[in-house]
Amino acid sequence: MRLIFPFVWLAVMIGLASQGSRVGDIGITENEKRRIEEADIARRVTLLNERDKKRELKNHYPPPSARRLDDGIGNNSIKELMDGFRGLL
């Protein structure tokens, strides 16, 4: 019995160790999953930065605004301008 037990134990251990090769592809590893997630995060950050840059450029030049009623019409009064357009309306 003392002589047979070590050989049986060795055969069982070799048998158990060989079971790992029967398991097929277990799928994606943690390192691959982490690399994919990091690439996805980097892509999202790039898209967000581009969107923010477009918003900055859009707000960089504010639209013109009139501060007074007669801004941009020269020295003519409002009444003179209205008289000129009376025939068109």
Q: Is residue 48 part of a domain?
A: yes
Distances (CA, A) of 72 to 61, 67, 76, 82: 19, 10, 10, 15
Q: Is residue 51 part of a domain?
A: yes
Structural domain of 39: 29-61
| Whether pTM exceeds 0.85 | no
Q: Is residue 89 part of a domain?
A: no
Evaluate if residue 72 carries a pLDDT over 60: no
In the chain, the percentage of residues whose pLDDT exceeds 90 is 28
* Residue-wise pLDDT tens digits, 21-50: 555 667 788 899 999 999 999 999 999 999
Q: Is residue 66 part of a domain?
A: no
Q: Which two tokens stand for residue 35?
A: 């690399």
Q: Is residue 71 part of a domain?
A: no
pLDDT computed for residue 62 by the predictor: 61
Find the mean pLDDT for residues 61-72: 60
Please tell me the distance from the alpha carbon of residue 13 to that of residue 16, in angstroms, as a whole number.
5
**Domain tally for the chain?**
1
